[in-house]
Amino acid sequence: MTDQRRMTLKDLAQELNVSTATISNAFNRPDQLSPALRERILKEAKRLGYSGPDAKARSLRTGRSRIIAVILAESLTYSLNDAVASEFLSGVAEVLDAHGHTLLLLPGRGHASQPPGSANIADGFIVYGLMPNNKLLDELPTQRTLVAVDFDIEGCPTVHIDDTAASYKIAQHALNELPKRPAIINLRLTKEVCNGRVTAEHTLLPNTSTISRARLEGFHSALSEQGVDVEQVPLWNIEENTFEVCSPVIAEILDQPIEKRPDLLLCMSDRIALTALTLAEQRGIRVPEELRITGFDGIAEGQYRAPRLTTVRQDSVGKGRVAAQMILGRVPLAQQLLQTELLLGDTCP
Amino acid sequence: MTDQRRMTLKDLAQELNVSTATISNAFNRPDQLSPALRERILKEAKRLGYSGPDAKARSLRTGRSRIIAVILAESLTYSLNDAVASEFLSGVAEVLDAHGHTLLLLPGRGHASQPPGSANIADGFIVYGLMPNNKLLDELPTQRTLVAVDFDIEGCPTVHIDDTAASYKIAQHALNELPKRPAIINLRLTKEVCNGRVTAEHTLLPNTSTISRARLEGFHSALSEQGVDVEQVPLWNIEENTFEVCSPVIAEILDQPIEKRPDLLLCMSDRIALTALTLAEQRGIRVPEELRITGFDGIAEGQYRAPRLTTVRQDSVGKGRVAAQMILGRVPLAQQLLQTELLLGDTCP
DNA sequence: TTGTAAGCGTTATCAC
DNA sequence: GTGATAACGCTTACAA
């Protein structure tokens, strides 16, 4: 009572002349003691300023923290400001929250000032996106559940969409009307840093199972199917999915002489597509008459505007929900494949 | 070695024939043992699959977890998908990350399925936005640092902007050209749920220190200064800062007969303003010729589009940085007031 | 430079 | 229904 330090369960027990076990039970197992006693304990606890068992001690003892970590391959700054990642996180958060768990955010490519350290406090890990290196993953406590989203870890349950099929679908739609000069804008496709046209100089990233490569493949099959030689289709690359990084590349594309300027832009993301749309609007290029644009993701920003973006929607929130449910063991750990849906907007009717 | 359970520091010590203290030092205090021994320990640890001290035990022992919790007044789903909150979080994350801390996300208005419980694992708390009730706050361990952002907790360090001054500034700009029919769209201003026109029937929320009230006050002073009777200025209310909730109200405003339709919309947020802009575009209402619109926040989406939104920028990322620095004790715990900046876009030149 | 041992605040297993 | 007591895995005086 005259203590400076936070009151502990033991203190409270002493104060109330009951054993520590009884206090613990009052908080954790209501059926283990009489309602009256429990009532009294809870009331006294509040009065004396004891706000329940300490989480650190409890987690040490029980081995569980009710904390789930999401490891974001991209930086936290990027992820939090990216609509797709945010939706994913909100799906995760929703499920965790509903089951009394909380969300710890870990950067994959961090300042690495410290080893993860505090990370292994989590009961489980959701890894979102291909990690830049496996160092962090290696350090993850084995024996703890791990779910991989949007990429594969050998032997791990995963949540995916079929990127190739989805991008094939949208490209196929766009090719209903055959373009004169189609072009593709992709994301982080080259080994070398390249913000601009991908040429013979560049080598594509080896990993063929990246989202980037998968979507490119979808675009290419649809093009081939229409008899287009994919080698002739200009391919542009962008290093980060943000307006700032995209816009100079898009400007370069749109500012070509009109006879070289594409009339169809297959974009790997809505962010790229929206940037293209904005820049086209600024230049007075009419969409879709002079330039058709397709996106990928189906983020709100593309749908709640005029003209609406033509794109393929992936259910990022759903992805998050499924991943969280897997981690919590509420659905079987498996390889989940989520559906996508064509969104026919105005930018490529 | 033949153990099923995760290897512990003690196991490792036994294996290597050194004391537990030495192992601990190898990980935490390099200067406490010879480099050679440390090298050997680290190498053996890796070989035997010991990935460093357990965070749960360590945090119990040291009393610190290197985890900072951000309590979001809104739901996690909303916050993660709101540009302003996301920017704030990324500012927080950036600073935490740089100092080897991690970010735990807690919903303020949660399903409340469980008491916070695992929350008090955090070393400090950043509370973002006015909490719906004080229950959660009361349960927060006293003696732990607490920083309030965008609202006040008595005796707490805070990070703020001057909402009244900022909204006065933008309104003053807008009133350079005197509107015939100005209107204000505000957020969660009434006690009753009200998506639509605020009438005499409604009672404003009592708390005059909310962001909503503060911004309204700024609008009103600017209007009064121009001799406009603020009682005559239509005031609309919206319950949530999302396109879905905003758009019906905005539609109602814009679909009034042209002689009643406002020619200036002072919006309490960029989200509201952008919704207004989209709906105006859909209706062929010319902005700014027939309708001028101002926002508040300065989110990217409003600036990376054509026409650009006229608004006042608050540095949400900076807010997050400052809050995080305070929590980490890198800047003095105080009442910080951040600057705002007028952003003259195209929607109200 | 290294080892010993006492907790950190709980929960769980027993007896009673 | 209730009360001792032994872990949980680690850090850190302090002793050697």
Helix, coil or strand: residue B92: helix
Give the span between the Cα atoms of B286 and B127, in whole angstroms: 41
CB-CB neighbors (< 8 A) of A318 in chain B: none
Of A309, A47, A210, A239, nearest in space to B138 by CA: A47
Cβ–Cβ contact A119 with B under 8 A: yes
Confidence (pLDDT) at B42: 86
Decide if pLDDT at B2 tops 60. no
Give the residue ranges of chain A where pLDDT is below 50: 1-3, 113
Confidence (pLDDT) at A135: 66
Q: Which two tokens stand for residue B193?
A: 């749920």
Contact B101 A111 (CB under 8 A): no
Helices (H), chain A: 9-16, 20-28, 35-48, 55-62, 76-81, 83-98, 135-139, 163-174, 211-225, 243-254, 270-282, 300-303, 316-327
Of A55, A65, A63, nearest in space to A8 by CA: A55
Protein-covered nucleotides of chain D (CB closer than 7 Å) are: 1-13
Q: Let me know: does B348 contact B292? Beta carbons within 8 Å.
A: yes
Q: Let me know: does A258 contact A220? Beta carbons within 8 Å.
A: no
Helices (H), chain B: 9-16, 20-28, 35-48, 55-62, 76-81, 83-98, 135-139, 163-174, 211-225, 243-254, 270-283, 300-303, 316-327
Give the span between the Cα atoms of A317 and A87, in whole angstroms: 5
End-to-end Cα distance, chain A = 72
Per-residue pLDDT tens digits for B276-331: 999 999 999 999 999 999 999 999 999 999 899 999 999 999 999 999 999 999 99
Q: Let me know: does A55 contact A100? Beta carbons within 8 Å.
A: no
Residue A215 has a CB neighbour count (10 Å cut-off) of: 27
Does any strand D atom come closer than 7 Å to the Cβ of B59? no
The residues that bridge with B127 in the sheet, in sequence order, are: B71, B148
SS3 annotation, A295-319: CCECCHHHHCCCCCCEEEEECHHHH
pLDDT confidence band for B97 (50 / 70 / 90): very high
| Average of per-residue pLDDT across B57-80 | 93
ω into A262 cis (within 30 of 0) = no
Q: Let me know: does A81 contact A115? Beta carbons within 8 Å.
A: no
- Rg over alpha carbons for chain A, rounded to the nearest Å, is 26
Confidence (pLDDT) at B1: 37
Beginning with the edge strand found earlier in the chain, give each strand of the sheet holding B264-267 in spatial order: B196-197, B235-238, B182-187, B264-267, B292-294
Does any strand C atom come closer than 7 Å to the Cβ of A10? yes
Confidence (pLDDT) at B3: 44
A153 by Cβ neighbours in 10 Å (0-12 / 13-18 / 19+) ranks as middle
Give the span between the Cα atoms of B84 and B104, in whole angstroms: 18
Nucleotide nearest to A32 (CA to C1'): D1
Q: How far is CA A7 from CA A49, A55, B16, in A?
A: 7, 13, 39
pLDDT confidence band for B45 (50 / 70 / 90): confident
**Tokens 């990246």 found at:** A210
**How many angstroms from the chain centroid is the CA of residue B49?**
40
Confidence (pLDDT) at B176: 95
* A76, A77, A86: residue with CB nearest B81: A86
Question: CA at B48, C1' at C1: how many angstroms apart?
Answer: 25
Q: For residue B101, what is the nearest residue in chain A, using CA coordinates?
A: A118
Per-residue pLDDT tens digits for B254-279: 999 999 999 999 999 999 999 999 99
Mean pLDDT is lowest, of B113-122, B199-208, B280-289, for B113-122
Decide if pLDDT at B10 tops 50. yes
Confidence (pLDDT) at B115: 54
Which residue's C-alpha is at the least distance from the C1' of D7?
A61
Does any strand D atom come closer than 7 Å to the Cβ of B9? yes
Confidence (pLDDT) at A3: 44
Give the span between the Cα atoms of B194 and A16, in whole angstroms: 49
Confidence (pLDDT) at A104: 96
| Average of per-residue pLDDT across B138-146 | 77
B244 by Cβ neighbours in 10 Å (0-12 / 13-18 / 19+) ranks as exposed
Q: Which two tokens stand for residue A97?
A: 């929250």
Q: Which residue has the higher pLDDT, B5 or B215?
A: B215
Instruction: Tell me the pLDDT of chain B averaged across its residues.
Output: 91
Q: Let me know: does A149 contact A130? Beta carbons within 8 Å.
A: no
Decide if pLDDT at B112 tops 80. no
Decide if pLDDT at B114 tops 80. no
Contact B77 A90 (CB under 8 A): yes
**How many angstroms from the chain centroid is the CA of residue B229?**
34
CA dihedral B108, A316, B319, B158 (to 10 degrees): 0
Per-residue pLDDT tens digits for A85-94: 999 999 999 9
